[in-house]
Structure 1
Amino acid sequence: MGGESGRGGPSGGQDTANTAGTRPGAQPRPAGTPKAVGIVWGLLILNTLGSAGAKTIIPLPRSLIQMVTMGALVAAFALALTLNLRLRVRASAFVLLLTLLLVPSVISSMHLVSGFGALFRCTRLALFIGTLWLLGRWWDGGLTFVRHHIRMYFAVLGSVAAGAVISPGAAVPELYGGRLVGALWPLTPPQIGQYAAVIIGLTTLLVLGRRTDRASAVVVIVPSLVLLALTHTRTATLGLLIGLGLAISSLVLTSPAARRFFAWAVLCAVVAAVAFSSALQAWFLRGQSQENFSNLTGRAKVWDALLAAPRTTSEHLFGVGLGDKSFGGLPIDNSWLAVYHEQGLTGAAIVTAIFITLGGVALLRPPSLQRASAIFLISYCAIASYTEAGLGDASPYLLHLAVAASLLAAPAAATPLSTPAVPRRRLPRWARGSEVT
């Protein structure tokens, strides 16, 4: 993942404005990650919020929401192109595999089994991947995109909290079994739980790595934990606990803070399991029967029907085209089956390669905060993929994996602005001889 970076520069007090010794074709490196990159990332997050969800306090037409989200993606691509007019990109296996994922998507969508909406979704995915290519110039293994990720999703959770304060009834409707939803923007409980879990995990790791102060971390973590608890989202909770456990385990040998946190976390988990076992079980079951819980709230029936449906050879290989991640009018709620349904075995193989590539690179890196954060994001997405869809299309899960890829990117070597002047060797007096005047 080599390329350009925003770090470094000439030193030694030399006048860098003098271009007399500039190398042919040498270009100055960017002075740092532009602040506008954070705006691009926020627009990508806005695009992936979706348009279907709970009823909001002020009814928002779905067409208006779709126009806003799609407009955000077009604006993100245009702004990223403005920031990277010379189209300098870094070699990235992650984005390359995403680009390859476009192939089965376009092939299957051309048959129009899912209607013209499939071609529209292919265009959206292409713009999404193109924006990631343009932003990849600033993927240098730093924490810049982690901070953008936390800030943007914390702002989204802020809108959820504001909606709960303004209209508690709309924020906790009976339609969703009393679970927290977005009352200002149509967000479902799994979405809110996902955003909360991800920023809790990343912020916790920043504290352990001493990259943020505890007061700022508390401001982010405590409200996010409350919102996560109110959503009753089991997948997000398990993803947070397992992902954070794996990430901290990767730091245990090198970080005393990680060892202390891990020990206290295990102790608190044991105490909570003993003292609050009945309450935790009630929260986990959400009032469901054991049969409904074992059936994954009806998901297993949809999965069985999808796998049993007859398919042509082309549909086996390339799927039926990008759709709304549903089968028979019901949500698939499984990333692997959704990819198989829409992009076939080819798409499923590419998504598998993405996880193998990112996971393999993370395991080969020496222990560090960046590596631990990447492990958390990769493991969270892997766990959530079992009951959530989104790995085959523009989604928050691909943004999580993009942040992981930025953390695993190797810092680029500095490109010197000019060649240093070579001082002429002065001969000793006795060797100079007579000078011609």
Structure 2
Amino acid sequence: MRTVERHADEAPKSVGAAWALLALNVLGSAGAKTVVTIPRSLIQMVTMGALVGAFTLALTANLRLRIRPSAFVFLLTLLLVPSLISSVDVGAGALFRCARLALFVGTLWLLSRWWDGSLRFVRYHIRMYFAVLVLVAAGLVVSPGTAMPEYYGGRLVGALWPLTPPQIGQYSAVVIGLSVLLLLGRRTTLTGAAVVIVPSFVLLAMTHTRTATLGMIIGLVLAIGSLFLTSAAARRFFGWTVLCASVGAVVFGSALRTWFLRGQSQENFSNLTGRAKVWDSLLSAPRTTGETVFGLGLGDKSWDGLPIDNSWLAVYNEQGLLGVAIVAAFLLALGGIALLRPPSLSRACAIFLISYCAISSYTEVGLGDASAYLLHLALAASLLAAPAPAEPLPTPELPRQRSDISRIRVPRWARR
């Protein structure tokens, strides 16, 4: 029997749609005031409906429940244990968040069938979040006053969908970073990359989001550094970037400092816009042994009515030390796998995403619950997955021609 090799599974269109619905689910339901007031209940209905739709599409595309082994998704599944233990006695809201996280993780398991180290999900990621940025830009055109309100210090917010400046900054930074890496890897044209990068950079600048900007810069440095020895384009880009950054720091140093401080006093900047006071209060609060180990249950990532704005402290507050250990484990697992992989564009994209999420975790929440940060890390896990082994496919055998020598007539002269 002859065999041929089966190539990697071609993902159906429903896989890309499921990934986009996951991104829609983690957009959130609380944010800035919009041009037309959207009831929060309606937004929550849309986002939760998107999660159910993502799970349904993923299940439809993967009816045989074929999954790929993934340390990241396995550890994320373990995170459900402290989440559920701590949320049982809290109430329906915490249990609902546990169910949401479970459905999110289940969808990732179903989609892991198509995690083969290719750039398929990178393109899904860029398209979805660039569509969100287009929506933000449309809101800026429709109502500039609503899009840059005074209560946010004139920073860009979502005027058509309630998005905060840190969210817009995060999406812009991720889209820019991945697009730059695709351009360096010659997986897109200069024109195509510019159409995405330039407007995204403008929106990032208008949000005045320092964490997203620093995360993008450091993430790109590490990602391009991983390609430095194998890519001439990466070396040229790195050299020109260093030169332009040096000239820009000299010429526009004062303007950059003003943008970075955002009009804040030195004291306000040093205590991280009041975050340090919330962190000190959270850490000094008395806790029982159970609350220290398992946390207080999934909530809205706040303390005494104020946002925690730190992923590690938010996980400690809601899922305890066990949750912190699991989050640290999947970050270290992704980072270790990325270091062991040979240099490639997929590895560079994964390094960018992992480093960006690690840096952002200091002033943003999201590593312990269904969020855009977990979706970024899931994308990194898909990029670090080993290619699926080729499977032999049976090919139909050709019908054998029957040769019966007895039926062949032999001439008389040959019989003699």
TMscore range, shorter length: over 0.9
Answer yes or no: is 1:192 the counterpart of 2:147: no
Q: CA deviation at 1:414?
A: 1.6
Residues of 1 paired with 2:74 and 2:19: CA distance? 19
Preserved CA contact (<8 Å) 2:36 2:160:
yes
SS in 2 for 1:417: strand
From 243, 256, 261, give the equivalent of 2:219. Answer: 243
SS of 2:392's equivalent in the other structure is: coil
Query: What residue number does 1:179 align with?
Result: 155
Matches within 5 A, 1:396-407: 396-407=372-383
Q: Deviations over 1:285-313 (max 9, x none)?
A: 00000000000000000000000000010
Given that 2:116 and 2:385 are in contact with CA atoms closer than 8 Å, whether structure 1 keeps it comes out as yes
Q: Which amino acid aligns with 1:290?
A: Q
CA distance in 2, matches of 1:92, 1:135: 11
Q: Which amino acid aligns with 1:76?
A: A
Matches of 1:94 and 1:422 in 2, distance apart?
46
User: How far apart in 2 are the matches of 1:315 and 1:291?
Assistant: 33
TM-fit CA distance, 1:324: 0.3
1:93 alignment partner, one of 59, 71, 86: 71
**Matching residue of 1:431:** none
Displacement, 1:36? 1.2
Report the CA distance shift for 1:363/1:420 in structure 2 as closer, same or farther (over 3 A). Answer: farther
Is structure 2 residue 91 aligned with structure 1 residue 109? Answer: no
Q: In structure 2, what is the equivalent of residue 380 of structure 1?
A: 356
Which runs of 5 or more residues in structure 1 are unaligned?
Answer: 1-8, 12-27, 425-437
CA distance in 2, matches of 1:170, 1:355: 38
1:3-402 matches, within 5 Å, as 10=4, 31-112=9-90, 115-402=91-378
Q: What TM-score do the two structures reach when normalised by structure 1?
A: 0.89
Residues 9-49 of structure 1, C-alpha deviation per residue, up to 9 Å, x if partnerless? Answer: 937xxxxxxxxxxxxxxxx8775011111100110000000
Amino acid at match of 1:67: M
Conserved in 1, the CA contact under 8 Å of 2:9 and 2:114? no
* 5+ residue gaps, structure 2: 401-416
Q: Which amino acid aligns with 2:109?
A: W
The Cα RMSD (Å) is 1.6
Given the two structures, how large is their TM-score scaled by the length of structure 2?
0.94
Identity of aligned residues (%): 76
Give the 4+ runs in structure 1 shifted more than 3 A.
28-31, 419-424
Matches of 1:173 and 1:382 in 2, distance apart?
Answer: 30
1:61 maps to amino acid: P
Q: Residue type matched to 1:133 in 2? A: W
Displacement after TM superposition at 1:328 (Å): 0.5
Partner SS, residue 51 of structure 1: coil
Tell me what 2:412 maps to. none
* 2:4 maps to amino acid: P
- SS of the counterpart of 1:63? helix
Contact 2:94 / 2:297 at 8 angstroms: preserved in 1? Answer: yes
Please tell me the residue identity of whatever aligns with 2:353: L
2:390 equivalent to 1:414: yes
Q: Distance in 1 between matches of 2:234 and 2:50?
A: 38
**For 1:210, what is the secondary structure of its paired residue?**
coil
3-state SS, counterpart of residue 322 of structure 1:
coil
Partners of 1:407 and 1:46 in 2: how far apart? 21
